[in-house]
Chain A
């Protein structure tokens, strides 16, 4: 069966069995393996994608059901290579451990924020009720979604920015016998960081 599907803004012409699931077409034919299969029965949410603005489990949806609709997967979040705010906050809040539930969590959260830009923690937990996580205990994930909505969230304490590698050679010429500091020019030390961590 020939299918015309619109995924992440791109039109795809796919040849698939009529009963191919949306998850199968995304992963196996479009190479969009970000969407994961954790249970195959619509319970764990790892396969969540957004279809016409709504979060759905792609493992219990046939590809034919997505005809004429806009499908958004995790690969479609980072427009032109920049992580979107939600992805940024997942990074910043430490909301990712093994990461297998992460794409599904992101898509459920994305759908929530599209419909409700200022969700309460209870709204967030309810929206994520169909996304199971075994690593994080959900706390950092809820914090990440809250932070993405612009609501106040405690930051995960992050370390200092890494310094740029030195550009200049700061040692005198190797052939020279003893180092003559003035001849070599001032050693360029890395700039002292302002402020604390």
Chain B
């Protein structure tokens, strides 16, 4: 592990921290323009039906209302909210407004008015007549009722099977089966969804988006409205969190349409209820796993079937499912792996991208399953995993790609020691009201999209005339320090402090193409691009210095913003002077532009340990201790790597114990705000420890790998396993809300209270 890095590996606040603590930063939801109009949507109150009529006369008669739109006066073209580029294979099943409403919250109409209050009042005056259709609220119902079509091509949206290896001899093997259900979850980014679009009189537009892919926004909007791409400018506005909930273009198409129609600036800002009902949820899944395991703990075979609930529209769920099927072999060596997956439409909230992209859902099932296997075989859960985990540079049989320097086994061993696993595990759980237990789970995730599509990024970097630098890249900062990481990487290469480097966020008119912030590609791929771009720029700086100092390039060294002649350091020229002199004499500007192609996609890993205390009277579970270990290659921003684990664990504990968006018999969720959507708050958050394992064994910048998503992958399973350890139960229906815990205890006790 090289220690001669000056900037990489230290801890930095986010690049715009000063503006955030003063409240100065203008987020998307703060944007305000002269003459700006406000939009409010009318959302379907029913889960399934046809809109028979829309009477907007009373709404349009309200003073201050410009217009009301619905399917009657908007394009009927379908689009895909997850499209990144033209020609990409996507499920294209969504329209701006629905005539066929497919879930409670589906877009039926929009009002554009001069104030938010008037827009809201007008929505209440729109009269819509629906013809209700049977609502299919579970994947089972949707598959059974072929007479009720949610979409024309049937309710089975997508299915796939992946198989690797062959069934070995499983005679004498112990067979274990389990089924795990994971819920629909609200991402709960603190800033609600918002978009501001400015329709120009000439027909073009400018769009401020808080999504994670400005170029994709442009593609979808321009294609939908028939505009040329160069006339649509999409700018990434500062955003208050996403966690995948803003990866896809939920509010942008409709806002752009309204702005285009009115040729005005229109703001569409969702309230919390709309965010819960009408944006996107993490998909609900059910996975049944069957393993054959040798008595000594060696896994011989893992067969899985997964059903994923896509909700009313496809969004990105086929791709999500594909990724779910490719998680297990990143983590465990399996002689035979067979995974079948079905993605099914239902008349429930749309499911789509969420942090971990299928890994939390799948790994939760796998790790709960392995806890059961360990119990059956009477092997310690850590020992069982150590027997089966992948090792560095294993080839993943499903993708045929190297997993890179996969250090998950080391994370498990070091974590178990740090957590004092064996001793805690040996302690009696108690039989009284409060029972303690410990659980462990391993998780894997990826580093970008190499293997799925041509994974690359483009950037430009220039040196200003005063020796400061500007990185032009289509970055999308959700708040986890993406911009800061790029600055640190560039700083390290150039040998100047990150404060001397400015890095932009995406603006399709100004920054080169990049797919966006998702798929755990930012550090590994986009960061590598930053490193390559900075390396190229540094070479240009040195070349200019060579001219200035009239010394061959090989005799020059650069350090802390100055180029020296090696061995004669009185001869030097500072970066700022190079810039100035170059302008006048040698080159008009010192700049570099590169395209970086990823050539690998290693695994990132995390192993997590939870200790819980369950109140067997109330069913409430307290997480009393927690350790997260991360194989992250190299921490670029050490403080942020730890902080990402801390935040991810908050989300994972919520996933395990509290959070779900369920629907009633009418397909309507009882959850409409934070009063009834319970997240972990400060009093209930345990003080978690984070251990970072760094081996720098892969191609990422300075050996770094992704962390933000993998951090959340094993969390829920660690907590669930701890609860099951405490109670002697085999709960696997998340979340483990008090009612479910009490029901399990009552069943165990033979029904006695």
Contacts and interface: CB of A to CB of B under 8 A. Distances in A.
Contacts of A133: 190, 647, 650, 682
A166 B577 contact: yes
A98 B239 contact: yes
B431 interface: no
A37 B6 CA distance: 40
A98 B479 contact: yes
Nearest to A44: B674
A137 B685 CA distance: 7
A43 B650 contact: no
Interface string B186-203: 011111100000000000
Interface string B1-42: 000001100111110111011111111011010000000000
User: Considering residues B14, B192, B562, B643, which has the most beta carbons from chain A within 10 angstroms of its beta carbon?
Assistant: B643
Interface string B684-716: 010110000000000000000000000000000
Contacts of A41: 272, 673-675
Contacts of A69: none
A171 B14 contact: no
A30 interface: no
7 contacts: A91-B18, A129-B681, A132-B681, A134-B243, A137-B647, A139-B643, A170-B574
User: Considering residues A35, A139, A166, A187, which has the most beta carbons from chain B within 10 angstroms of its beta carbon?
Assistant: A139
Interface stretch (B281-289, B517-525, B564-572): B564-572
Interface in A1-60: 27-28, 32-41, 43-44, 46
B497 interface: yes
A171 B497 contact: no
Given A156-B11, A170-B572, 12 more contacts: A33-B23, A36-B190, A91-B18, A132-B190, A136-B647, A158-B10, A163-B561, A165-B574, A170-B577, A174-B548, A187-B572, A189-B569
A161 B497 CA distance: 8
Contact of B190 (A32, A101, A124, A141): A101
Interface string A110-146: 0000000000000011101111111111111110000
A147 to B, nearest CB: 14
Contact of A40 (B18, B272, B500, B548): B272
A3 to B, nearest CB: 17
B26 A99 contact: no
A103 B23 contact: yes
Contacts of B11: 94, 156-159
Nearest to A144: B21
Nearest to B576: A165
B190 A44 contact: yes
Contacts of B571: 179, 181, 187
Contact of B679 (A92, A132, A169): A132
Given A156-B11, A163-B561, A179 B190 contact: no
Interface residues of A, number: 75
A29 to B, nearest CB: 11
B481 A97 contact: yes
Contacts of A73: 23
Contacts of B638: 157
A195 interface: no
A38 B572 contact: no
Interface in A62-111: 73-75, 77-78, 83, 87, 90-92, 94, 96-103, 106
B419 to A, nearest CB: 17
A161 B11 CA distance: 13
B673 A142 contact: no
Contacts of A38: 190-192, 240, 272
Interface string B178-220: 0000000001111110000000000000000000000000000
Contact of A39 (B29, B467, B548, B674): B674
Contact of A97 (B191, B569, B647): B647
A90 B182 CA distance: 35
Interface of A: 27-28, 32-41, 43-44, 46, 73-75, 77-78, 83, 87, 90-92, 94, 96-103, 106, 124-126, 128-142, 156-163, 165-166, 169-171, 174, 178-179, 181, 186-187, 189-190, 197
A134 B188 contact: yes
Contact of B191 (A96, A98, A189): A98
B642 to A, nearest CB: 8
B427 interface: no
A192 B559 CA distance: 11
A132 B30 CA distance: 19
Nearest to B497: A162
Contacts of B683: 125-126, 129
Nearest to A136: B647
B272 A99 contact: no
Contact of B10 (A40, A96, A157): A157
Nearest to A46: B190
Contacts of A101: 190, 240
B22 A87 contact: yes
B500 A162 contact: yes
B354 to A, nearest CB: 12
Contacts of B478: 98
Contacts of A33: 23, 26, 30, 32
B479 A97 contact: yes
User: Considering residues A34, A87, A137, A186, which has the most beta carbons from chain B within 10 angstroms of its beta carbon?
Assistant: A137
A161 B650 CA distance: 33
A136 B240 CA distance: 12
A190 B12 CA distance: 23
A102 B581 CA distance: 44
B646 A134 contact: no
A174 B188 contact: no
A35 B240 CA distance: 13
A159 B649 contact: no
A87 to B, nearest CB: 4
B191 A36 contact: yes
B650 A94 contact: no
Contacts of B466: 165
User: Considering residues B21, B564, B649, which has the most beta carbons from chain A within 10 angstroms of its beta carbon?
Assistant: B21
Nearest to B673: A41
Contacts of B189: 98, 100, 134
A137 B643 contact: yes
A67 to B, nearest CB: 21
A100 B639 contact: no
B21 A87 contact: yes
A156 B642 CA distance: 11
